[in-house]
Amino acid sequence: MTIDQITDDVAILEQLNLDYNAADQASDAERFKTLLADDFVVQTPGVTRNREEYLRYIAGPRPFTGLTLLESRVRLFGDVALIHGRARYTLVSDGSVQEALYTDAYQKRDGSWYCISACAIAPGS
């Protein structure tokens, strides 16, 4: 892998990370269909969902507003990448501002990057 390819892949993954967060806030299940691998699995506090379960969940009203990415780091391992991030949001239920940590795993398949796994750690978990 050349330096140029690494640079290109990191830039693509950084944009995919922004797209993932924007689609989450917007309940944009259609965008998620293009981001998630068919064998995608996500874990959030107390719940593990497959791709179809997550798409149904995302399509519903979000329990938060103002999702803001505070920091992220892309780690590239050939055709696999990890994105570690920290985000802030406001809960709709009580207006409290909270932060969550997440790690998303991506794999390059047939020349394109797809999210294969996600895990979020939120307050109280």
What is the per-residue pLDDT across 41-88, written as a single tens digit (0 to 9) for each? 999 989 999 999 999 999 999 999 999 999 999 999 999 999 999 999
Strand order in the sheet with 97-109: 47-50, 36-44, 112-121, 97-109, 80-91, 64-77
Q: Is the pTM value of this prediction over 0.75?
A: yes
CATH number of 3-121: 3.10.450.50
Q: What is the mean pLDDT of the chain?
A: 95
Pairing type for strands 97-109 and 47-50 reads unpaired
Burial letters 99-114, b for 16+ CB under 10 A, else e: ebebbbbbbbeeeebb
Give the integer Cα–Cα distance in Å for 24 and 59: 9
Would you list the domain boundaries of the chain?
3-121
List the one residue out of 17, 6, 12 whose CA is nearest residue 86: 17
